[in-house]
């Protein structure tokens, strides 16, 4: 992996790397915030998965997370949301399919199946890479994300018991097989057999017995995508209740889907993950 940018922030360093990804068969870019504590020791890592249209840039610029990561001594690992490049399939006129919309699955359908393997990338290739090259405590990881990335955080944790010490999400797509965004991407990436979609749907995974010690979600009540039925936290809540999976779902009055919502609560999420990784 190649360091392409390094900016001092909150006493640590906000770095950007590129590398040739075996999972995605293209060059991938990701950002890492290394807190001051990483200068003379290894630190735990919080993975952040971003939402539709995002790159690794949005979270590092807009969420104000670095100061909390510095305070708690944890690294932030911030991957891109899809493979990129001129050779990577895309639908430029759509923000919710193709580049910027990897949906954290391993695509099986042409033309997506060559590059769109974000699930393998996020859960296997990237952790192995950063734990080899950066001052991280091997295996001490947590995961969070926003919207499509909240969905990604939930399924990564549910499908890999023990891999993450904790999982949280901001306004996650909780039940992608039943919302327009999820159906659009899953049908393209995974094909028409809806039973195969369920392996990447947090609500479905919990219904069939996937379990983790706790799920922590913040959701704004004025979120435009909640109101149009893209997020469906009520489906996840029902599944968790049925399966007795502990869920803390905070409905935050008046907050929308933007990074201003994330910025408001990211400090509490980072403190919670830091405690889980302590």
Residue with tokens 């990701």: 30
Under 8 Å between Cβ of 66 and 9: yes
- Indicate the burial class of 249 (C-beta count within 10 angstroms; 0-12, 13-18, 19 or more): middle
Specify which residues 76 forms β-bridges with. Answer: 33, 46
Q: Does 48 bind its own copies (CB under 8 A)?
A: no
Q: Does 42 bind its own copies (CB under 8 A)?
A: no
Specify which residues 117 forms β-bridges with. Answer: 106
In the range 162-221, which residues lie near its own copies by CB under 8 A? 220
146 is catalytic: no
Q: Does 64 bind its own copies (CB under 8 A)?
A: yes
Q: Pick the catalytic residue: 201, 223, 235, 269?
A: 223
19 is catalytic: no
257 is catalytic: yes
Of 72, 68, 57, 80, which is closest to residue 7 (Cα–Cα)? Answer: 57
Q: Does 260 bind its own copies (CB under 8 A)?
A: yes
Q: Does 264 bind its own copies (CB under 8 A)?
A: yes
**How many angstroms separate the CA atoms of 242 and 245, rounded?**
8
Q: Does 135 bind its own copies (CB under 8 A)?
A: no
Q: Does 36 bind its own copies (CB under 8 A)?
A: no
Binding mask 9-28 for its own copies (x = CB under 8 A): xxx--x--------------
Q: Please, which residues have CB within 8 angstroms of residue 186's CB and are 6 or more apart in sequence?
A: 103, 105, 176, 177, 194, 197, 200
Which positions lie near its own copies, rule CB under 8 A? Answer: 7-11, 14, 61-62, 64, 66-67, 220, 222, 254-256, 258-261, 263-264, 267
Residues labelled as active-site residues: 147, 223, 257
């Amino acid at each position: 992996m190649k360091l392409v940018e390094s900016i001092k922030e909150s006493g640590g360093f906000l770095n950007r790397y590129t590398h040739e990804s075996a999972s995605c068969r293209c060059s991938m870019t990701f950002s890492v915030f290394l807190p001051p504590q990483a200068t003379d020791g290894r630190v735990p890592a919080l993975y952040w998965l971003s939402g539709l249209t995002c790159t690794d840039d949005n979270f590092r610029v807009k969420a104000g997370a670095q100061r909390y990561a510095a305070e708690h001594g944890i690294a932030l690992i911030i991957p891109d949301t899809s493979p990129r490049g001129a050779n990577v399939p895309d639908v430029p006129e759509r923000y919710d399919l193709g580049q910027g919309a990897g949906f954290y699955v391993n695509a099986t359908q042409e033309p997506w199946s060559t590059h769109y393997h974000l699930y393998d990338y996020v859960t296997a290739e990237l952790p192995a890479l950063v734990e080899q090259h950066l001052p991280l405590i091997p295996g001490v990881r947590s995961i969070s994300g926003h919207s499509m990335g909240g969905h990604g955080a939930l399924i990564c944790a549910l499908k890999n018991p023990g891999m993450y010490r904790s999982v949280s999400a901001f306004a996650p797509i909780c039940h992608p097989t039943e919302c327009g965004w999820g159906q659009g991407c899953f049908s393209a990436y995974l094909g028409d057999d809806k039973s195969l979609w369920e392996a990447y749907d947090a609500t479905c995974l919990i219904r069939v017995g996937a379990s983790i010690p706790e799920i922590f979600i913040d959701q704004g009540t004025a979120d435009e995508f909640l109101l149009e039925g893209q997020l469906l936290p009520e489906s996840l809540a029902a599944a968790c209740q049925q399966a007795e999976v502990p869920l803390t779902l905070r409905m935050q009055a008046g907050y929308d889907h933007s990074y201003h919502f994330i910025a408001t609560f990211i400090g509490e999420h980072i403190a919670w993950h830091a405690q889980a990784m302590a």
